[in-house]
A and B are shown apart, each in its own frame.
Chain A
Amino acid sequence: MEETRVCPCKAMGESRREFCAAIAALGLGAAAVVPGAVAAFSGGFDPIMRGSAAGETPEFNLGALSSLPEDGTPVKKAIIADKQDGWTKYSNVPVGAVWLRREGDKVSAFNVLCPHNGCFIAFDPDGKQFKCPCHNAFFQLDGKQNGSSISPRDMDSLDVEVRDGNVFVKFQNFKFGCEEKIAQA
């Protein structure tokens, strides 16, 4: 006793009157949904719409030059700044870190974040090289890649300046996983 089914399109109604009622129902229904949808949409996509404040690359004083070993052994230093964590604001906490290397009076600085995927690069004192523990990328002390590695580029060097015996570093993060060094917005 198969029943002949109504063609789904016919559900809109057969007469003009029925059709108008159906359209009105759809329209009203949609209108009723809009405010909630707008609020949900904007709330949900808030993290994207929140543009990050771009500006001058901030400079940080990382302490006295004399505190760095002269033999070129890298030293990890924290970048201390204010941090927003959700709705909490922390002042003067580590927001990043750099490897500093001093040879004589020359200082070089590298972001500790691995260009591959942003793990923290460690220093391996035995092998006298940098090593990223996540996918075993190796870098020489001057930040160049050591042999073939999964990292698409060398370690990210940062601008350093020594003024009045103090080391100043312009700190920024770069995009991961690409060959060119592109600053993160």
Chain B
Amino acid sequence: MERCFKIFRFDPENGSVPLYREYRIDVQPDWRILDCIHEIKWKLDGTLSFRRSCAHGVCGSDAMMINGKNRLACRTLVRDLKKRGVIRIDPLKGFPVIKDLIVDSDAFFERNEAVKPWFVNNDRPPEKERLQSPEERDRIDEPTKCILCGSCTSACPTYWYDKAYLGPAALLKAHRFIFDSRDQAGEERLEILNDLTGPYKCHTIFNCVETCPKEINVTGAIAELKMEILRSRLRKKSKSGR
């Protein structure tokens, strides 16, 4: 069946203004949107640019706005979208566009790095593995699913207007370590988050949850961080009071 794709185009080398181009191609209902834009690139217009690699939703390269919602092009099938009308594709909102559907995600990754996103445990490691119960492991199951695709941060209105905000993905990364029973740098990270850039900026709008391709409850994780900051303050108070 023929479908029309309306795709955002911008070529920084041509001094041109951003515009939409329409492409009509034959597609199957079980095609991924990634298959569709490949069909366009490979058969009609080699200049169309986008990122992709794994093609099955595990690498996080091809998050883009499809019919107004952030999704992975490789995890969205034609049949998942409305049956008629154009399929509109835009780059992720809130990130500067470099070319076509390729955005500048440097700022996104820098925020991720700001929360000390690495495991810390300064004790001498045991000869074998550190023990962790299945329940403790479960506590961090959701955040370890994150593929850093950027959909959540790009969908967050707070992030659009306040670039100091760490954004949902970076906060989720902090959560992954703070709630890991084996990690020892929780307090330090909470310190970083107890700032105007951290979870207090979240207005629980839930856009991140709605858009996350890994179905992670990002807003829930942020709420847990808020609570943990409070607990940490109380912990410190009772210590200094003694």
Interaction A to B: no
